[in-house]
Amino acid sequence: MTEADTTASGKGADQRPDFASGAKRGPLPAGVLAVIGTVAVSTIGALAMATALGKLVYDITGRALDLGLIGLAEFLPTAILAPLVGPMADRYDRRKVVAAGLLGEAACAMGMALYAASGPTRVWPVFLLIAGYGTARAAVAPALRSLPADLAGAQLARVIPLNSAAWQLAVIVGPVLAGFLYLGGPAWPFVFGTASLLIAMVAVLQVPDVRHTSGQRAAGETSSNGPLHEALEGLRFVRRTPILLGAISLDLFAVLFGGAVALLPAIAETRLGVGSVGLGWLRASCGIGAGSTTLLLAWRPLSRGVGRALMLAVAIFGIFTVLLAFTTNFAVAFIALAVLSSADAISVFVRGTLVPLATPAIMRGRVSATENVFIGASNELGAFESGLAGHLFGVVGAVALGGVATLVIVGVWWWCFPALRKVDRFEEVMKPA
């Protein structure tokens, strides 16, 4: 094992790192800033395109259902390809896997720019391009999510909130830029997104080589049961680890029912009476709330009662989703989105730290691929659920019912996953490589 292997996999029970104090000491490991830069730049472009995409589709059809179909088109490639991309992230150079996926995303983004510039009147080409983008992103996600844990080791509790802060900064900048760029023409947010993805591709190639985990797997642990058995190892590992299953599935079901962001174009238009710039600021409020919280977590990481904090954060997410459903005031909607996103940031921090620590290094790609299906289901499939519910019950009914369902889910998970609820410190769940 290299030194990086030893660091990433943890130490003996009496020598585990102190996440409360160690997270604040020493320089960041080599390559971490390049990973954070990759996340920030690619997410700025992705969120700018996501904001413009919702506006473009709603301008073409005026139907909430089509906003949901955007999420479905993004989710299906993730679900279908998960058994393949997880082993790929564990066997090959994760930097190059991410770079290749980002190049594919950029190609689809440029296709979207060209179609948006043509004065589109039909949405089916948009959905085809979204599916292509989702295919490329399915390859990016498990490899990119594994890199911070590979590089950070005992400083993971420091790196996770910094990584999340970069993502949340992008959530602020991307939508606001999209709102203004869209005024110049619907193609411009996609041109900007294409450039961002290409810059991110260059950034990730500056990360030091961390193929030690995949090399160890390929050299010594090739499955004798065939590629399908190996591909599903991540799912089996999550299923037999209650803390992982509870944390990941809580996110799945809570956001599946409570995801109101997909309906923001309809909320902005029909409930708040604002245009593309107002929509951009509503999307940005999510980043403002979550970004401020992740910066606080980076400065003062959560170190005690992490299981209870996760469940409380998801409950707050549900409460403010209900508030968002009923308001017709832009300021109240802005604040509700900021608070629910702040709660979601706490959830992301806890889950983002628990999952890699509770997973051996040689399994992180496959577990991340499994997690990506759950997260994709909660976000993209949740967007489809929100769009369908908005079509059936109206925007207010869909968002309100989603918030209430989230609160019910928290109550059920509180009793069904006591091991997750009782996690006090992150180091309790650490696994060897």
List the chain domain ranges: 3-219+227-429
pLDDT(244) > 80: yes
pLDDT, average across residues 413-430: 83
List pLDDT tens digits, range 64-91: 778 778 878 887 887 777 667 777 777 7
- Over 50: is that where the pLDDT of 144 sits? yes
What confidence score (pLDDT) does residue 285 get? 86
Q: What is the pLDDT of residue 222?
A: 43
4 has pLDDT over 60:
no
Mean pLDDT, residues 158-177 taken together:
77
**Residue 179 confidence (pLDDT):** 83
pLDDT at 256: 66
At 188 the pLDDT is 94
Q: Within 13 Å and on the Cβ side, how many CA atoms surround 121?
A: 0
Q: What pLDDT, on a 0 to 100 scale, did the predictor assign at position 385?
A: 67
Question: Per-residue pLDDT for 106 more than 90?
Answer: yes
Looking at residue 142, its pLDDT comes to 80
> How much is the pLDDT for 215?
43
The share of the chain scoring above pLDDT 90, in percent, equals: 18
- Written as one string, the DSSP assignment of 93-129 is -HHHHHHHHHHHHHHHHHHHHHHHTT----SHHHHHH
Element holding 6 (H helix, E strand): helix 3-9
12: pLDDT strictly greater than 50: no
Higher pLDDT, 278 or 375: 278
Yes or no: say if 379 and 71 are a contact pair by the CB < 8 Å rule: yes
Mean pLDDT, the chain, whole residue set: 78
Whether residue 416 is predicted with pLDDT greater than 60 in this model: the reply is yes
For residue 133, the SS3 value is helix
The listed CATH number (1.10.10.10, 3.90.1150.10, 1.10.1740.10, 1.20.1250.20) that belongs to domain 3-219+227-429: 1.20.1250.20
Which stretches within 188-275 are classed as H helix?
Answer: 188-204, 212-220, 227-231, 233-239, 242-258, 264-266
Highest mean pLDDT among 99-103, 281-285, 323-327: 99-103
For the question of whether the overall pTM of this predicted structure is more than 0.75, the answer is no
Closest CA to 106 of 136, 128, 138, 81: 136
Is pLDDT at 151 greater than 70 in this prediction?
Answer: yes
- Rounded distance between C-alpha atoms, residue 411 and residue 400, angstroms: 17
Between the two ends of the chain, the Cα-to-Cα distance in Å is 10
Tens digit of each residue's pLDDT (9 = 90 or more) over 253-272 = 776 666 677 778 888 887 88
**pLDDT of amino acid 364:** 73
pLDDT at 174: 86
CB 27 within 8 A of CB 157: no
If you compute the radius of gyration of the chain from its CA atoms, what whole number of angstroms results?
20
Q: What does the block give as tokens for 258?
A: 């409570």
Q: Are 265 and 58 contacting, i.e. CB atoms less than 8 angstroms apart? A: yes
With bands split at pLDDT 50, 70 and 90, how would you rate the model's confidence at 47?
A: confident
Cβ–Cβ < 8 Å for 357, 11: no
What is the tens place of the pLDDT at every residue in 338-397? Answer: 999 889 888 888 887 788 777 777 777 777 767 766 665 556 666 676 777 777 888 888
Highest mean pLDDT among 23-27, 234-238, 387-391: 234-238
* pLDDT tens profile 191-227: 999 999 999 999 998 888 765 444 444 433 444 455 5
The pLDDT assigned to 45 comes to: 92
| Predicted pLDDT at 268 | 84
CB atoms within 10 A of CB 401: 18
Query: Which residue bears the tokens 């909607």?
Result: 333
Model pLDDT, residue 99:
93
Q: Measured between alpha carbons, how far is 99 from 88 in angstroms, rounded to an integer?
A: 13
pLDDT at site 390 = 74
Contact 102, 200 (CB under 8 A): yes
